[in-house]
């Protein structure tokens, strides 16, 4: 048995970013976790997380997952090339890819309505918080891209509509082995 502190924020959103990234880095250090995954479509949250990691002396691998290209506007990446280059020069892996819990099925819902199994899973995870859903989703994306191991725990940080307010310790899985994914600890989430 182990006891661990969990943060519960009164409100979701980016105001919680400094607190949750600090807590996530501390947990990664405490558990000797070598990978921290951060949801960051523009790079702003990634910069805050990296600053917290540098301040705490975290030496593991950072992986940033952004919204897929075209998420808001056709063909447009929300992270500019200079920011991506800056992150990569700092040793960060940056990845943009198909969202594991929506994929092409989202286009069917947007055109004809209804919901499929992937979006049902996403909606159930949003019951915990949108950020918890993103932590799980991007861990599958990173595993499928070969950016995180599937045989080690990682820390994932994500948020609700910008910034970060949720974090998990989890064991990632590839999409075709989704049910092997294990949520180990909730570091924090909105109430």
Instruction: Read off the CATH number of the domain in which 123 is found.
Output: 3.40.1380.20
Least confident span in 52-66, 95-109, 112-126: 95-109
Residue that wins the pLDDT comparison between 28 and 3 = 28
Question: What average pLDDT score do residues 162-168 get?
Answer: 96
Residue that wins the pLDDT comparison between 29 and 76 = 29
What is the count of structural domains for the chain?
Answer: 1
Residue that wins the pLDDT comparison between 73 and 188 = 188
pLDDT value at 72 more than 90: no
Say if 84 falls within a structural domain: yes
Dump pLDDT digits (tens) for 117-151: 888 888 889 999 999 999 999 999 999 999 999 99
Contact 62, 53 (CB under 8 A): yes
The model's confidence at residue 26, banded by pLDDT at 50, 70 and 90, is very high
Say if 2 falls within a structural domain: no
Say if 52 falls within a structural domain: yes
Say if 86 falls within a structural domain: yes
Residue 114 has a pLDDT of 73
Residue 18 has a pLDDT of 98
Say if 75 falls within a structural domain: no
Alpha carbon 91 to chain centroid distance? 18
Percent pLDDT > 90 in the chain is 76
Written as six digits, the tokens of 29 are 């250090």
Mean pLDDT (the chain, rounded)? 93
Say if 1 falls within a structural domain: no
Contact 63, 147 (CB under 8 A): yes
Say if 49 falls within a structural domain: yes
Q: Show the domain range for 29.
A: 7-70+80-190
Residue 37 burial by Cβ neighbours in a 10 Å radius (0-12, 13-18, 19+): buried
pLDDT value at 177 more than 90: yes
């Amino acid at each position: 048995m182990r006891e661990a502190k969990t943060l519960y924020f009164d409100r979701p959103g980016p105001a919680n970013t400094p607190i949750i990234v600090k807590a996530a880095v501390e947990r990664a250090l405490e558990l000797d976790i070598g990978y921290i995954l951060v949801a960051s479509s523009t790079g702003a949250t990634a910069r805050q997380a990296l600053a917290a990691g540098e301040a705490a002396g975290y030496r593991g691998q950072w992986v940033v997952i952004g919204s897929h290209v075209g998420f808001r506007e056709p063909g447009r990446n929300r992270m500019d090339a200079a920011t991506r280059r800056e992150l990569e020069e700092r040793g960060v892996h940056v990845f943009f890819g198909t969202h594991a819990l929506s994929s092409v099925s989202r286009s069917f819902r947007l055109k004809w309505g209804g919901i499929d199994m992937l979006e049902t899973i996403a909606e159930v995870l949003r019951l915990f918080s949108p950020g918890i859903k993103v932590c799980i989703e991007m861990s599958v994306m990173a595993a499928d891209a070969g950016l995180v191991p599937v045989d080690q725990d990682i820390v994932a940080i994500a948020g609700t509509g910008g910034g970060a307010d949720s974090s998990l310790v989890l064991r990632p899985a590839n999409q075709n082995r989704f049910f092997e994914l294990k949520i180990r600890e909730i570091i924090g989430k909105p109430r």
